[in-house]
Amino acid sequence: MSIFAIDLGFSNVKLAVGGNTDVESTYLMPAGVVPAGDRAQGITDKAATSGLSVLVDGEMYVAGIDHHETGRHPRILDADYPASVDYRALYYAGLATLNSDHVKTVVTGLPSYQAVDKKRVDALKNMLVGEHQVAKKRVITVDNAIVVAQPTGAYMDYYASAEDPEGVENSNVLIVDPGFFSVDWVLVSHGAIMEKSRESSKAAVSVILEDAVKLLGEDFGIKPRPIDLEKAIRGESTTIWLAGRKVDITDYLNQARHQSAEAVSRLIKMTLRENDCAPDIIVMAGGGAAYYADAIQAEFPNSLFVQPEAPVFANVRGYFLIGESAENNA
């Protein structure tokens, strides 16, 4: 396997794999991880067989499962996620899906504010490369690692698919990447990242889910768990079971998103003002793009607004292109 691109989020893990000429496949799995012996017992066949078993530091984990199935294993939602065992278990689960035991280049990203921290970047690169014993009888070797700011992947994805790539290269392109734990953005001006425009906000999808849970609790007298809404969204469902009935969560999510989306929009505008630069093009990437699109578009009405096909894969498709470029220039 030549290139392995992986976008390790707090809610989902996105993969793109292939040779050095094209993406052969993309894949999404939940980001739940649990020690094998602590997994919540499933009754259905699907619950019992989902996920991938991987070996991390001599202990078996099940990775790539819904957070419903992680039992009492604590979920990590902080800035040190890339240094955690859970992150490594998910990385190993991604490697385990490959049909090869050798990867030339792995590409991934960090939140914008972390991608400028050389210590964090170097630590992640060191973890990604080398020999990885992902199972008792399987070792996968990774030669090289590239770590970029997460929204950079979405920029490359848009640039590669644009009708006028030269026009994109000569424009100010704002990439906004709403994820579960943070909303990241970066301004790419005439093909170069504006360093002062790299920024992140914690007013992310997790906050929207928590606010929606409160609204549902007010109406029904009982609150669902945020992971109930998260699972419905991942499964592209608009309903959950609550208080013995099926409840449409669309209006609750729409109400909950406004405060977070408007806060992020204002912060983006303030960041760009410091760069004295207005975006010509705005690209919305990430699994939470739909929750922030209206507010950001309203804040920048004179910009061309772009939401790529399957925005949840925009970053990882771009990571693959970055790896492809590195392979071709090696």
Do 108 and 128 form a contact (C-beta atoms < 8 A)? Answer: yes
With 0-12 / 13-18 / 19 or more C-beta atoms within 10 angstroms meaning exposed / middle / buried, residue 66 is buried
Kindly state the helix (H) or strand (E) to which residue 16 belongs, with its residue range.
strand 12-18
Task: Give the pairing type, strands 199-201 and 192-193.
Answer: unpaired
User: Which domain range does residue 138 map to?
Assistant: 3-151+314-329
Residue 147 resides in a domain: yes
Cβ atoms 106, 88 nearer than 8 A: no
Is residue 277 situated within a structural domain? no
Burial class (CB in 10 A: 0-12, 13-18, 19+), 325: middle
The CATH number of the domain where 28 resides is what? Answer: 3.30.420.40
pLDDT of residue 12: 93
**Residue 188 dihedral angles phi and psi, to the nearest 5°:** -105, 110
Check residue 164 and give its pLDDT.
93
CA distances 288 to 5, 55, 206, 261, 305, Å, are 20, 31, 10, 10, 16
pLDDT of 31? 93
- The span from the CA of 26 to the CA of 6, in Å, is 10
Lookup result for tokens 């090696």 = 330
Beta 281-284 vs 304-306: how paired, if at all?
Answer: parallel
247 is written with which tokens? 């409840």
DSSP tag of 25: E
DSSP β-ladder status, 32-35 and 59-65? antiparallel
> pLDDT digit string (tens) for 267-324?
999 989 877 888 999 999 988 999 999 999 999 999 999 999 899 999 999 999 999 9
Q: Which residues of the chain have pLDDT under 50?
A: 45
Helix or strand run (H / E) with residue 54: strand 52-56
CA distances from 277 to 111, 173, 219 (A): 22, 10, 44
| 242 found inside a domain | no
The token pair at 198 is 């790299």
pLDDT of residue 234: 86
Does some domain include residue 68?
yes
Q: What letter does residue 215 receive in the DSSP assignment?
A: H
Q: Is the distance from CB of 84 to CB of 73 less than 8 angstroms?
A: no
What average pLDDT does the structure give for the chain? 91
Q: Do 121 and 115 touch, CB atoms closer than 8 A?
A: yes
Task: Identify whether 70 is part of a domain.
Answer: yes
pLDDT at 90: 97
Backbone dihedral angles phi then psi of residue 3, each to the nearest 5 degrees: -125, 135
Residue 206 lies in a domain: no
User: Do the domain assignments include residue 247?
Assistant: no
Count up the domains in the chain and report the number: 1
Look at residue 222 and tell me if it is in a domain: no
